[in-house]
Amino acid sequence: MAADILEQILAVKREEVAALRKRASRQALLDEAAAQSPPRGFAAALRAKAAGGVGVIAEIKKASPSKGLIRADFNPAWLARDYETGGAACLSVLTDERFFQGANRYLAEARAATRLPALRKDFLIDEWQVLEARAIGADAILLIAAALPVAQMQELAAVARERGMDVLVEVHDGAELDAVLAAGLLPQALLGINNRNLRTFETRLEKTLDLLPRLPAGCEVVTESGINGTGDIARMRAAGVTRFLIGEHLMRAPSPGAALKDWLRA
């Protein structure tokens, strides 16, 4: 596998966007979005759980480029219900097909099975993808600073907010954080700090801890990737982080919801 996984993914996304724009008009996507039930408050749900100690965005992920197949018995609706029972605040559902074996229908199935708000976890680079997110029922979208220039992040965030969706803006280092701050995306958006380098897929929890002192007051921070147990959660909580996006470790458990419940009790 080439070192720069992100560039491989973005090349495929450009092809997918071209195909989407050919098969669906903007108005068609708007009509599909209007037919969905209203967005559930993603940021509000996460905030409410975090106020009680820990707010977890529980991820539904079948595979990844670095680890291959993560869960063979993959049922998005069952996983969503299991996570809800386990105390998750929100869901994150992978919709990328080529690299993560995801699908748009997985988000629709997961959301329909619970009352939890759902994030479309994908690599969004175009307005059509944001509209498609609401058309499949997403309550929030992910914008990755490593994949987008500042002006495009601002544009896509505005499109999401017009449709009532929340935005999770993801950074990996200080330069990306500076770009997000300069863009004025915070504090309207949630800030995700991904401990995984998307170009090499190396994971270090220190990525979150190193960036915390640089954050403005009132910033709602979500630490993402590399959370492998109660020790990692305790380490982050000691640093003032109460919002987590957790996927792979839970997805490998027989009952991801039961594993989450155990972590939240600890």
Catalytic residue from among 92, 104, 195, 225 = 225
Of residues 13, 61, 62, 207, which has the active-site annotation?
Answer: 61
Instruction: Based on the residue annotation, tell me whether 109 is a catalytic residue of this protein.
Output: no
CA distance linking residue 59 with residue 38, whole number of Å: 22
Task: Exactly one of 16, 220, 224, 248 is catalytic; name it.
Answer: 224
261 is catalytic: no
What lies within 8 Å, CB to CB, of 254 at 6+ separation is none
Catalytic residue among 16, 121, 207, 248: 121
Per-residue tokens: 1: 């596998």
User: What 8-state DSSP symbol labels residue 9?
Assistant: H
3 residue type, one letter: A
Contact 230, 263 (CB under 8 A): yes
H/E stretch holding 94 reads: strand 90-94
Give the dihedral sign, CA 84/88/89/92.
Answer: negative
Q: Clarify whether 225 is annotated catalytic.
A: yes
The one catalytic residue among 170, 176, 220, 248: 170
Catalytic residue status for 84: no
64, 92, 104, 194: the active-site residue: 194
224 noted as active-site residue? yes
Single out the catalytic residue among 59, 84, 127, 220. 59
Among this protein's residues, is 228 annotated catalytic?
Answer: no
64 labelled catalytic: no
Task: Name the residues annotated as catalytic.
Answer: 59, 61, 121, 170, 194, 224-225
